[in-house]
Structures are given as C-alpha cells and as structure tokens.
C-alpha cells in the first residue's frame, strides 16, 4: 500500500541542544534504515520549511502507524497521511 505523508517538524526552541542533536541523529539513522528496506522509497524536502513530503510503501495502515510513531521526532511532528491508489490513466500501471 502506498501513502503520501507530509511531516512538519516543530522542535521546541528551548529543547536542550544535546538532546536535539541526538534525536535528529537517531531520526536520520531510522529513516535511512527504512529507505534501505524499501518502506520509505521517496522523501523530498519542502523548500523553506522544516518539513517533507514522503512516499511510504507498506503492508497496512497499522504498519505505517508503527513506523511513523517510531520516528524519534514524532513527538514534535504534525503529520498528514493520504492513502494512494492507482490512477486508471497511469500508463506505468498497464
């Protein structure tokens, strides 16, 4: 199942700098592990924002929820999820 996900990160300004750096490093490692596993095949930065658009390719809504809630930055994110379906005019789907 494919999902389009927008993630807006809002780390508190008063978060301890060491905690922030450690959390961001864990986030990067976790996201790259998911990319290598094929679960997170696309990620794009939204210019001028601490945000991204991503495509996830997972087996279920529950798997996506587990992945997203496992993000180290999850407590500081606003996330919008849109399930995707094949478009009947998509020539790649033929």
pTM of the shown model: 0.91
Residue 94 has pLDDT above 90, yes or no: no
**Structural domains in the chain (count):** 1
Domain containing residue 77? 2-86
* Contact between 52 and 46 (Cβ < 8 Å): yes
Q: What is the pLDDT of residues 59-75, one digit of tens each?
A: 999 999 999 999 999 99
C-alpha of 47 from chain center:
16
In a domain, 91, yes or no: no
In a domain, 94, yes or no: no
CATH number at residue 40: 3.30.70.1060
In a domain, 92, yes or no: no
């Amino acid at each position: 199942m494919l999902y389009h996900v927008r993630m807006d990160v809002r780390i508190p300004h008063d978060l301890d700098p060491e905690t922030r750096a450690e959390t961001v490093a864990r986030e990067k490692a976790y996201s790259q592990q998911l990319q290598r596993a094929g679960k997170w095949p696309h990620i794009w930065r939204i210019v001028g924002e601490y945000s991204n658009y991503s495509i996830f390719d997972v087996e279920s809504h529950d798997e996506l929820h587990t992945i997203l809630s496992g993000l180290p930055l999850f407590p500081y994110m606003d996330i919008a999820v849109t399930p995707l379906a094949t478009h009947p005019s998509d020539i790649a789907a033929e």
